[in-house]
Amino acid sequence: MGKKQKGEIMNRFQIKARHLLPALGLAVLGGLLASCTASTGEGSKDANVSQAASAPSGAEIWANTCARCHTFRDPATLNDSQWDVAMMHMRVRAKLHGADARAVLKFLQSSN
């Protein structure tokens, strides 16, 4: 492999990494926000913690799933109804379960 090919591969990796870092930051922020809004009742606290630990947030699903094919766009680039249409289409293509698609849509619509 020549120097030019290695340079092109490294350049592609750097571009992908540059777009991935903000999305990962959003995923972490979404997780933190979700944990801050958990109910403080004694009986439901354990259920919320175990549910949050087992189910990824919409931001995390978006960061992990959409990054396979897309560079990340600012959620404000589309309005709520446009995100609804985009998610209906991409749910099928990304093979997302209904709950995951709803979580991603909720994240995108609350972020725009």
How many whole angstroms from its chain centre is CA 12?
21
Q: Is the dihedral of CA 30, 20, 75, 61 positive or negative?
A: negative
Render each residue's pLDDT in the chain as its tens digit; 112 residues.
Answer: 666 655 565 555 555 555 555 655 555 555 555 555 444 445 455 555 555 567 789 999 998 898 888 888 888 899 999 999 999 999 999 999 999 999 999 999 998 8
Instruction: Give the range of the structural domain holding residue 73, as residue numbers without chain letter.
Output: 3-111
Enter the pTM of the model. 0.53
The pLDDT value recorded for residue 39 is 47
Distance set, CA 63 to CA 25, 105, 110 (Å): 9, 13, 15
d(CA 87, CA 94): 10
The pLDDT value recorded for residue 68 is 84
CB-based burial label for 107 (10 Å; 0-12, 13-18, 19+)? buried
Q: Is 39 helix (H, G, I), strand (E, B) or coil?
A: coil
**What is the total count of domains within the chain?**
1
